[in-house]
Amino acid sequence: MTTPVLTVRNLAIDFLVGGDRVPAVHAVDFDLHAGEVLAIVGESGSGKSVTSLAVLGLLPGNARASGEILVDGQNVLGASEKVLSGIRGRKVSMIFQDPSNALDPVFTVGYQILEMLKRHRPQLTAAQRRERAVELLRMVELRDPEDRLDYYPHQLSGGQAQRVMIAMALACDPEVLIADEPTTALDVTVQREILDVLRRLQQRTAAAILLITHDMGVVADLADRVVVMRRGRVEETAPVQRIFGCPEAEYTKALLAAVPRLGAAHRASTAVPHERPVLEIADLVVEYRNRRGRAMRAVDGVSMDIRAGEMIALVGESGSGKSTIGKSALGLAPLTEGHIVIDGVDLATASRSQARALKKRIGVVFQNPTAALDPRRTIGQSIGEPIRVHERLRGGALSARVDRLLEAVELPASWAGRYPHELSGGQRQRIAIARAVSLEPMLLIADEPTSALDVSVQATVLELLRTIQGNLRFACLFISHDLAVVDELCDRVVVLHRGKIVEQGDRHTVLTAPEHPYTQRLLAAAPVPDPVEQARRRNESVAAL
Amino acid sequence: MSEQLASQQAPLVTPGDRSVWTTLRKRPLFWICSAALGVLAVIAVLPGPIAGLFGQPDPRACDLSRSAQEPSPTHVFGTDLQGCDIFANVVHGTQTSLFIGLLTTILCLVIAMVLGTIAGYYGGVADRIVSRLTDVFLGFPFLLGAIVVLNSAGTRSALTVSLVLAFFSWPTLSRLVRSSVRTVRGAEYVQAASAMGLTDRRILLGHVVPNSLGPVLAIATTMVGSVIVAESTLTFLGVGLRQPSISWGLQLSTAQSYFQSDPHLLVFPSLFLTVTVLSLITLGDILRDALDPKGRS
């Protein structure tokens, strides 16, 4: 084998936090060869991002690293700024997670690429630089590259912005391209395009890619070899087929088992038949006015209903209006046209006291459990608030209820005095669920409740949601972008695209035999955690072109 | 990154008694600042006896023949241009200066909290009215406004000066409250509270105000010092306190032109001002940390 372009030997990193040394990475070893895609997979806190930052010498000031990181035979750890600036951008460059924040909004895309070229390739003339910029944009398959140079970042979509970021990373023909969660902030169909761009680039330029990700589907799609990390240690390093085919480490097996997959077994619907729907939405239109007073239609003529005990999934990409529908059912979005009837009461004509009485019977779980809990309240206070307000319970009776709710979400009752920041993400989401069901709601609105969580945590939270729904039999509006999660949890699926419903029906029918082309595209775009299946799909899509 | 790591470590900590008071009690700085402010409060309430400790109880017993003398056993802080005892003057000025500084800040804080919260939380017309109002006040030249208002006011006591200062100083604070409230209003826990069917009053007092108070308190504590100095500017221009009033501001503004020849004229009043402001700022910081659950161990 050739000599590796990047070698990491016995890397250990710890952070100084409040006077204590907190280890982040321990004894990490791997090699990256030219033309290879090496994926580092792990959940949050596994040390995968810290490792990638160390390669560029970008660790924060309170970090201490030991070991060796060799780029082209040169040790990056402890290297001077001068050496590092020769490596950054030229030998190793990086693509970040959120493309909309990585571009400076006040300069055009072209200016930013040219500036980068001016710095790293001062020998080029202005015309050559422009030519090179166009070539780079063409490499990332951006349409009309000449015109795109004059665009400002806000005129680009997320996927286009990420392509520009990749183009900038490629500007100096780096030997190593580090992609830190390059598609996490993007929709699945856009993710598909970016992954294809990365794969073709890698084949064409023979650059090595170090892919940092938590998504097993992305790994299956792109990687040649995989490093599985957990709590700062390498659990397993193996070629991609072996990782998915016969994983050795227990953790890898558990991780793969936790990944939701399409094709869940048949389940009996929990819906209560012959009853009036808990939530009826008829011809709903929601318009927002932007700063110039122009109306933006977020939801356009949506009609649906949910019966008691039924779990309905609202599926769509960002901008499809799925969250807005959830918000309007909560009275948090303007109702431009149409009706929302909850338990026979029309929200538009309900009086204030009626609306308040309704809200008492609706629970809500948001995506980000960190933001959804008041940081200044103990979790006991947060869970108890709806009970205090609506049932006017105090003292012992209240804390007894809080204890029961904590036990219902499988947390010790003694934790009532803790604050949200002392809990992990999954535990916080359990608290949010406990608060949402504290008044035994008839309707639960869950807006992407698991998408901010690690897969292994996601599996347990989904399980909890199912158990609680089985006990309380509430109707549930489950908003999600993840079809596999929906498949495991819901009875019916509603697919949204640009504010309109394109397809709705039974879970099994929609997910196995979709009728609308958009649903088909959505299903085809989601990468499956299986390298053989991914390769087959890719060949199919190439053949279709 | 390090915050992420810290939060992972946190569940290992067993929660003990973590009330605000327990946390405050353990901080030596809290006691130092409280003691300093306590001493200042005693001085403000009993200026006569305290000035008498060093044998010069009357700040107005001046002897022109002993003008601008260095500190000596009879005059511990020395004497000013009129030959008055500086220690007695500083001690007697404490009351007026602290009164103006604290009252003005509290008034500003109350106005700013009310208007800023309304503007930030409700937005729309309320926001537009309050924002334009703050713009008008900010666009108005402070000195000119203060001169006009104070000249037309019949009596000029510490109270009127304080009211005028507050009248022109609330807009900056109000803007800060507004932006701070707007950030909190967008937080999901506020949305969750309103989805729970909580009343606006409950959401505002229970969630929005406590979470937006931090940066506002930090600025408010630094304001006390600037207000005390602003009073001296007004007095210097002849529209603030009238002679024979005594305040730190007045002493500072007369002393500034003699700093090179007689630095002690400036040093002692500024020492008191610095101690006051520093104690307030530090106390504000400690309080903010203690009120934030993440700051409590």
Looking at this predicted complex, what is its ipTM? 0.75
pLDDT attached to residue B10: 40
Give the span between the Cα atoms of A194 and A209, in whole angstroms: 14
With beta carbons less than 8 A apart as the criterion, state whether A281 and A329 touch.
yes
Give the span between the Cα atoms of A82 and A465, in whole angstroms: 53
Degrees, nearest 5: CA angle B251-B252-B255: 85
pLDDT attached to residue A90: 84
CB contact under 8 A, B294 and A45: no
Give the span between the Cα atoms of B162 and B165, in whole angstroms: 5
Query: Of all helices (H) and strands (E), which one includes residue A253?
Result: helix A250-258
Chain B positions touching A385 (Cβ under 8 A) are 193, 196, 198, 206
Give the span between the Cα atoms of A269 and A250, in whole angstroms: 34
Residue A417 DSSP label: G
Chain A from 33 to 62: CB within 8 A of any B CB: 44-45, 49-50, 53, 60, 62
Average pLDDT over residues A366-392: 89
The mean pLDDT value of chain A amounts to: 87
Higher pLDDT, B57 or A349: A349
Q: B277 pLDDT exceeds 90?
A: no
Task: Tell me if chain A has a CB within 8 Å of the CB of B9.
Answer: yes
With beta carbons less than 8 A apart as the criterion, state whether B172 and B159 touch.
no
Average pLDDT over residues A428-453: 90
Report whether the peptide linkage leading into residue A514 is cis, meaning its omega lies within 30 degrees of zero. no
- Candidates A79, A81, A83; CA nearest to A91 is A83
Chain B positions touching A22 (Cβ under 8 A) are 2, 5-6, 9
Q: Count CB neighbours of B261 within 10 A.
A: 8
pLDDT attached to residue B262: 82
With beta carbons less than 8 A apart as the criterion, state whether B192 and A364 touch.
yes
Give the span between the Cα atoms of A81 and A226, in whole angstroms: 31
Q: A31 pLDDT exceeds 70?
A: yes
CB contact under 8 A, A45 and B207: no
pLDDT attached to residue B5: 38
* Residue B197, amino acid: G
Higher pLDDT, A87 or B14: A87
**How confident is the model over A251-293, as pLDDT tens digits?**
999 889 888 888 766 776 666 666 778 899 999 999 888 767 7
Average pLDDT over residues A483-500: 90
Q: B3 pLDDT exceeds 60?
A: no
Closest CA of chain A from B43, distance in Å:
37
Degrees, nearest 5: CA angle A148-A152-A153: 100
**Where are the domains positioned within chain A?**
96-173, 272-361+443-456+465-525, 371-438
Directed axis angle between helix B28-45 and helix B86-122, to 10°? 120
**Where are the domains positioned within chain B?**
96-229+279-297
Buried b / exposed e along A358-396 (16+ C-beta atoms within 10 A) = bbbbbbbbbbbbbbbbbbbbbbbbbbbbbbbbbeebeee
Nearest residue, CB atoms, A376 vs list B6, B15, B293: B293
The mean pLDDT value of chain B amounts to: 83
Highest mean pLDDT among A395-399, B53-57, B175-179, B248-252: B175-179
Closest CA of chain B from A485, distance in Å:
23
Pairing of strands A443-447, A362-365: parallel
Give the span between the Cα atoms of A464 and B267, in whole angstroms: 68
The lowest-confidence range among A116-120, A288-292, B123-127 is A288-292
pLDDT attached to residue A35: 87
Structure tokens at B13: 């900590």
Structure tokens at B100: 């103006």
Give me the sign of the Cα torsion angle B79, B83, B88, B94: negative
CB contact under 8 A, B189 and A417: no
**How confident is the model over A200-247, as pLDDT tens digits?**
888 888 889 999 998 888 999 899 999 999 988 999 999 999 999 889
Average pLDDT over residues A359-379: 89
**Spatial strand order in the sheet of A37-41:** A92-95, A176-180, A208-213, A37-41, A225-230, A233-239
- Candidates A489, A446, A474; CA nearest to A361 is A474
**How confident is the model over B23-47, as pLDDT tens digits?**
888 889 999 999 999 999 999 888 8
What is the largest distance, in Å, between two alpha-carbon atoms of chain B?
76
CATH number corresponding to B96-229+279-297? 1.10.3720.10
* Residue B144, amino acid: L
Nearest residue, CB atoms, B195 vs list A24, A362, A371: A362
With beta carbons less than 8 A apart as the criterion, state whether B1 and A15 touch.
yes
Q: What is the value of pTM for the model shown? A: 0.81
Give the span between the Cα atoms of A329 and A327, in whole angstroms: 5
CB contact under 8 A, A330 and B7: no
Task: Tell me if chain A has a CB within 8 Å of the CB of B291.
Answer: yes
Chain A positions touching B18 (Cβ under 8 A) are 417
Give the span between the Cα atoms of B108 and A159, in whole angstroms: 48
CA distances from B19 to A36, A276, A307, A308, A425 (A): 55, 49, 46, 44, 25
pLDDT attached to residue B12: 41
Using 50, 70 and 90 to split pLDDT, how confident is the model at B6?
very low
Structure tokens at A1: 């084998």
Local structure of A20: helix, strand or coil: strand
CA distances from B269 to A537, B83, B93, B236, B254 (A): 81, 16, 9, 16, 11
CA distances from B212 to A371, A494, B110, B141, B215 (A): 14, 39, 14, 29, 7
Q: B57 pLDDT exceeds 80?
A: no
CATH number corresponding to A272-361+443-456+465-525? 3.40.50.300
Q: Count how many Cα atoms sit within 13 Å of the Cα of residue B161 in the half-sphere of its side chain.
A: 29
Average pLDDT over residues A59-81: 87
pLDDT attached to residue B112: 94
Nearest residue, CB atoms, A375 vs list B8, B10, B293: B293
Closest CA of chain B from A411, distance in Å:
13
Degrees, nearest 5: CA angle B209-B211-B212: 65
CA distances from A118 to A121, A125, A172, A448, B146 (A): 5, 9, 11, 43, 55
Residues counted in chain A: 545
Buried b / exposed e along B43-57 (16+ C-beta atoms within 10 A) = bbeebeebbeebebb
Tracing tokens 């002849």 back to the chain, one arrives at B238
Local structure of B116: helix, strand or coil: helix
The distance from CA A234 to its chain's CA centroid, rounded to whole angstroms, is: 23
Task: Tell me if chain B has a CB within 8 Å of the CB of A359.
Answer: yes
Using 50, 70 and 90 to split pLDDT, how confident is the model at A453?
confident
Using 50, 70 and 90 to split pLDDT, how confident is the model at B18?
low
Average pLDDT over residues A404-409: 91
- Candidates A155, A161, A162, A160; CA nearest to A180 is A162
> In sequence order, what are the residues at sequence separation of 6 or more whose Cβ sits closer than 8 angstroms to the Cβ of residue A215?
A183, A184, A527
Task: Tell me if chain A has a CB within 8 Å of the CB of B6.
Answer: yes
Degrees, nearest 5: CA angle A509-A514-A520: 145
Structure tokens at A388: 């205090």
Local structure of A35: helix, strand or coil: coil
Give the span between the Cα atoms of A352 and A474, in whole angstroms: 24
Give the span between the Cα atoms of B3 and A287, in whole angstroms: 38
pLDDT attached to residue A358: 87
pLDDT attached to residue A17: 78
pLDDT attached to residue B243: 65
Structure tokens at A264: 């869940």
CB contact under 8 A, A374 and B6: no
Q: B4 pLDDT exceeds 60?
A: no
